[in-house]
Amino acid sequence: MAINTPLSFSLLSSLTFILLTISSHAFSIEEASICDLQLAFKQNQLTSRKLVEFYIGEINRLNPILKGVMETNPDALFQADKADYERRIKAPGSLVGLHGIPILLKDNIATKDKLNTTAGSFALLGSVVPRDAGIVVKLRKAGAIILGKASLNEWAGFMSVKAPNGFSARGGQGENPYLLSADPCGSSSGSAITVAANLVTVSQGTENDGSILYPSNANSVVGIKPTVGLTSRAGVIPVSLRQDTVGPICRTVSDAVYVLDAIVGIDYHDHATQEAAKHIPHGGYKQFLKRHALKGKRLGIVRNPFLSSASESESQALEHHLQTLSFSRPLGNSQHGYTISTGTAEGTALLAEFKISLNAYPKELVASPVRTLADVIAFNQKFADVENIKEFGQDLFLAAQATNGIGNREKAALSNLAKLTRDGFQKLMCDYNLDALVTPGAGIARVLAIGGFPGINVPAGYDDSGVPFGINFGGLKGSEPN
């Protein structure tokens, strides 16, 4: 449920005087990067247990307001003790990367443990998954500590167009930590909120259309939407496998890259990873973390229509950043004849794909209260009060249920999307030989979504009210190293 709290103040600034910091030999956990934490581990300034205890304390203190965490893992301290032991005996891989680092997973990413995987819905509460999601297998192999599940737009925002961003029946209303009255965006709202508010080191989000890029933009964090298939979607509650992807949300680009390195690669439960594996560079992505990595790159800048709704302060800040970047020439989509809108075609395709994907997901569950989209709709009608159906409805569910596979209408929509991708974004990138397309905010997300293209959103500043905004870099498939 939503919190009845005055929403006109900034949580991060107003609570600064009571923020707790665990310090040892002048080491502060807040805002610490993965590299900072690993160095503190090596220098015996910190243990994974102390790190997890700090985050659990902060979650207990701030989550009643922010509602960014769905639930914490009762085994997190056990995992922390295991990491500390491995570090003491100098086990292979115990002093680098994600080893001993806590991570929150969006609540649509399956874990075969004591945590629930529900997409924020009571309909899946108590369901039992057959195995860890593909990326969770890789995270555990890297030594990461699964701290818990992050909140989200219920069903990744695909149940109702009326439900606000950050809201789910199980998790309540997630809040933007910079300004509680501001939109936290979604659907990976909790993943962004928790990283921004120092409730965890790093997090995982999922994206179908904007669900990583938008909340990263709104909460002043870094979000990477990988090329579709680069990271496994196996064990992730789906919207559409044509567009779904899994990626990191972190406070720094380097942290996001460390997480990306850990989760990419082949998973035989997701066939798309076999084709996309060709894009993974030998030696991983961290080799491209260089201060002057943009030198010599060809960047296309698109201001309109993305700056049309920006405030004056936002426009000025973004223009400053854009001018700082060296680029071949300014690009405007109308002057150069590139169409980057998707119309209604995406929605037509997604409704049918969602029904197919969601009907397939529960069939793999060991146990579940629901087995089909129709079951979920019936559950929501039966428990309308707890699922807030009277307030928000379930119009997208009903529209999806009314579809009947991929028929002529859906095929035409998919053909239209392919044409828009080919003649729009793809043509623009190739015609100008661009390494990346740079756009203010996250408004380019839909264009990247329909083509399965990657994007990264990085913090760029704050408007007059203190609400964050970012800049997005998008590229062709496999262009993450750029």
Q: Which of 94, 127, 187, 188 is catalytic?
A: 187
254 in catalytic set? no
DSSP string, 35-100: HHHHHHHHTTS--HHHHHHHHHHHHHHHHHHH--EEEE-TTHHHHHHHHHHHHHTT-TTTTSTTTT
What whole-number distance in Å separates Cα of residue 110 and Cα of residue 431? 41
State the Cα–Cα distance between residues 186 and 183, nearest whole angstrom: 9
DSSP label at 134?
H
Residue of 10, 48, 94, 106 marked catalytic: 106
The total number of residues shown for the chain amounts to 482
Is 187 part of the annotated catalytic residue set? yes
Asked if residues 139 and 83 have their Cβ atoms less than 8 Å apart, the reply is: no
106 is catalytic: yes
Specify whether the CB–CB gap between 120 and 388 falls below 8 A: no
Catalytic residue (choose from 10, 127, 211, 368): 211
Q: Provide the phi-psi class of 116: left if phi over 0, else alpha when psi is between -120 and 50, else beta.
A: beta
Q: What is the Cα–Cα distance from 298 to 319, expressed in whole angstroms?
A: 18
Other beta carbons within 10 Å of 383: 15
Is the alpha carbon torsion for 459, 461, 463, 464 positive or negative? positive
Q: Annotated active-site positions, please?
A: 106, 187, 211
